[in-house]
Amino acid sequence: MTGKVLNNRYELVEKIGSGGMADVYKARCRVLKRWVAVKILKDEFVNDEEFLERFEREAYAAASLNHPNIVSIYDVGKEGNIHYIVMEYIDGITLKEYIRQNGALPWQEAADIAIAILSALHKAHRQGIIHRDIKPQNILMTSDHVPKVTDFGIARAVTTSTVTRKVDTVGSVHYSSPEQARGGYTDEKSDIYSVGVTLFEMLTGRVPFDADNPVSVALKHIEEKPARPSSIVPDIPEAMDEIVLRAMGKSRSERYDNALQMIADLDHVKKGEALERNGGETDLFATRVIGSLEEESLAAKKDRGRNRKKGKAGKTSKKGFLIASVYILLIGIIVGGIWLVYDKVVKDVVGAILAPKKQPVEVINYIGMHIEDAIADLEAKNLPYAEPVYEYSDTVPKGVVMDQRPPAGISIMPGDDAITKVELIVSNGPEMVTIPTDIKFADYVEAEIKLKNELKLQTKVVDEYSDEVAEGRVIRTEPEMALLLRQEARLLYTEALARNLRTLLYPM
């Protein structure tokens, strides 16, 4: 396959990877003159029309994801019996290889990588895309140690295909959630479980569950609790243990509700802050009550033993007193239980029935409003709202609301106990990047690819003569190297490169 040109555009240069589903090639795009990665489906998949249709649909959906921690999908196509997707080329290694090379990572670094993965998943989940195959093999580490999640479209297409697929084509069972192991319904919390397993491996250097065969590993995910990472690496904070164990809860209700919650907890740990915990209610049937009954019963037996030699009248009197005491105690427990039930349950229900009914409040348009003014309006109307999400933008000033959910005109219930909350997406201003100094004298094609792929800058090549710099090498940049620029992902910025035409000065 090396040397083949797909659709007269993508020249396959070398094979750089292979998986259960596809082979990956480094390729050169002849149109845009940049390096790309081309993933070609294996023959066993190309004859399944249902899968190919789903694969193409999901790949196009994943192509809409634009995030610094997601490998970009540029194109989806086919030539003859070859079905392929064209992706951003990452000059690096997988997170799995990174862990093998370095062993257990420092917990701070593991937290940073997990936050990057969760940030990418949050972006996908907001667009209704579930990855379903998060594992270190699907996380690429750039040369600058930036994690990038890949295979969104492929993961979803495979896991929604026929149930007769082999387990190893769906993804590594070592990272699958209990519901995936059972073949049940999966959602964004399934991705969170897989992130928990990946974080466990980064912290300890090994997976939480392992066995001789995939079925045994799957059963462990369903039945067994993972060890605390600090029991393997002692210097891991207890709070990191709690985050991993919560993410890997057997039941969905035990896990984080969404990726942002887990990001918040990881951020708290990095800052040395305590994790937020919800207070639990007191048990109405506390063991201390049972314990006191048990003590009374034992005391009664001792008394009967000491009084065994007394006359019949004495024993009858003692027995009657004991029975009366037990009855009084039981009546007290019943009355106390009824009161507690009333105080904890009935009173609230009655209060809710008698309380004046809340009326829904219409959500106004907050887009274009400063976040402080928007929050002030929400609080004045007693409307619940989630923590604002900040995203970079070159077109919207910093601190101004860019998007909202639900949209204006929708009515929701007020109060902190309301189910629906207002979510605000706020501009964080333009994201800035630095033009690297190491591209001077470099090959202009490689420099152009680096500026486009890694820094997301638009480039413009300008030919210029030089007696000092070899042909095809970068002379300088405009603006100069080491200056901050806006990223292309936020708005276009023209980057000027110069390459030498020395041969025109010295014709043969």
Amino acid at site 114: A
Sequential DSSP letters for 467-481: SSS-TTBEEEEESPT
Sequential DSSP letters for 154-197: HHHHHHTS-TTS-HHHH--GGG--HHHHTT----HHHHHHHHHH
**How long a stretch of residues is the chain?**
508
Q: Side-chain half-sphere of 382: how many Cα atoms within 13 Å?
A: 10
Residues 4 and 84 sit within 8 Å (Cβ to Cβ): no
Residues 183 and 163 sit within 8 Å (Cβ to Cβ): yes
The two three-digit tokens of residue 64, written as one number: 């809409």
User: Other CB atoms closer than 10 Å to residue 195's CB: what's the count?
Assistant: 25
**Element housing 452 (H / E):** helix 444-453
Nearest CA to 118 out of 65, 179, 196, 229 is that of 196
Query: Which residues are within 8 A (CB) of 109 and not within 5 positions of it... i.e. 6 or more apart?
Result: 202
Residues 389 and 425 sit within 8 Å (Cβ to Cβ): yes
Query: Which residues are within 8 A (CB) of 63 and not within 5 positions of it... i.e. 6 or more apart?
Result: 72, 73, 74, 76, 153
User: Other CB atoms closer than 10 Å to residue 285's CB: what's the count?
Assistant: 9
Place of tokens 């033009």: 435
Nearest CA to 121 out of 72, 181, 69, 193 is that of 69
> Helix count (H) and strand count (E) of the chain?
17, 19
Nearest CA to 31 out of 94, 91, 110, 86 is that of 86
| Residues annotated catalytic, as ranges | 133
